[in-house]
């Protein structure tokens, strides 16, 4: 697993989403020089090697928890699938606090994961992943965050993407993430991109279960790129 460390101060550990890499967080990190930043490329993504056997989400959370517990506990900041992982890590006692950025709450939040799992793994590896990347590339002409996502997807292992997409959809269908967030024993904040981030159904679920959350608008799924200054202020205030 590739790990980069930048700066000094209170440590923030950044966990990217499905198909992403830590590179997407660099604009945020540059705006928060008062913190120490640990930037992870999960196995199968970015600068990290492609594993012989892809990690499912539970196994990945166990792997990360073992690594995080070897050092002083830090605040974890996870985007999308990374937000789901941050919750799982807090449940494993591997976080001092967490910030979940637009992590999946219900099935309505599954976009690229749902597209991947609509076909078999063999079909996805043989051409389905390339087709999704092509769609992201075309849409990225008018959407800067999608351009960065396409670049990251080009380094992602297809089998890892598919395995974790499958787990992410299955977990989202249980609609268990909002109550799990509410039950955490560490401070937690959910940051949603409004109106184009998590679904309205999911925002209602956060309210119903009493999850502490804020909406930043106008923004989409990559809220930290769409509204950088607002996002940085929210992070600094919480930490």
Among candidates 83, 109, 112, which has minimal Cα distance to 181? 83
Q: At what angle do helices 129-139 and 158-173 cross, to 10 degrees?
A: 80
2-238 falls under which CATH superfamily?
A: Alpha/Beta hydrolase fold, catalytic domain (3.40.50.1820)
Sign (positive/negative) of CA torsion 199, 92, 12, 235? positive
The per-residue pLDDT for range 22-74, each reduced to its tens digit, is 999 999 999 999 999 999 999 999 999 999 999 999 999 999 999 999 999 99
Q: Locate tokens 């999850």: which residue? A: 211
Taking a C-beta distance cutoff of 8 angstroms, is the pair 228, 144 a contact?
no
The predicted structure's pLDDT at residue 140: 81
Instruction: Map out the domains of the chain as residue ranges.
Output: 2-238
The predicted structure's pLDDT at residue 141: 80
Measured from the Cβ of residue 153, the count of other Cβ atoms closer than 10 Å reads 23
DSSP 55: P
The per-residue pLDDT for range 191-207, each reduced to its tens digit, is 999 999 999 999 999 99
Whether the per-residue pLDDT at 128 is higher than 90: the answer is: yes
If phi > 0 it is left, if psi is from -120 to 50 it is alpha, else beta; for residue 102 that is: left
Q: At what angle do helices 57-68 and 158-173 cross, to 10 degrees?
A: 100
pTM to 2 decimals? 0.97
3-state percent breakdown (helix, strand, coil) of the chain, nearest 5: 50, 20, 30
Q: Exposure string (b/e) for 15-40, b if CB count within 10 Å is 16 or more?
A: bbbbbbbbbbbeebbeebeebebbbb
């Amino acid at each position: 697993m590739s790990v980069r460390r930048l700066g000094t101060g209170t440590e923030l550990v950044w966990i990217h989403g499905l198909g992403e890499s830590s590179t997407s967080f660099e604009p945020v990190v540059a705006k928060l020089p008062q913190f120490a930043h640990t930037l992870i490329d999960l196995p199968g993504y970015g600068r990290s090697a492609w594993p012989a056997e892809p990690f499912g989400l539970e196994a990945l959370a166990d792997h990360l928890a073992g690594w995080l517990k070897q050092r002083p506990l830090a605040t974890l900041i996870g985007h999308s699938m990374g937000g789901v992982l941050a919750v799982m890590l807090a449940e494993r006692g591997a976080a001092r606090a967490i910030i979940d950025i637009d992590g999946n709450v219900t099935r309505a939040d599954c976009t690229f994961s749902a597209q991947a799992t609509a076909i078999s793994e063999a079909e996805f590896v043989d051409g389905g992943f390339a087709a999704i990347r092509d769609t992201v590339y075309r849409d990225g002409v008018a959407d800067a965050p999608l351009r960065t996502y396409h670049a990251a997807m080009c380094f992602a292992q297809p089998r890892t993407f598919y395995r974790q997409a499958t787990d992410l959809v299955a977990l989202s269908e249980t609609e268990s993430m909002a109550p799990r967030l509410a039950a955490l024993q560490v401070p937690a904040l959910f940051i949603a991109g409004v109106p184009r981030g998590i679904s309205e159904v999911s925002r209602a679920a956060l309210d119903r279960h009493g999850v502490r959350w804020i909406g930043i608008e106008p923004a989409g799924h990559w809220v930290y790129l769409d509204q950088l200054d607002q996002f940085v202020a929210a992070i600094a205030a919480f930490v």
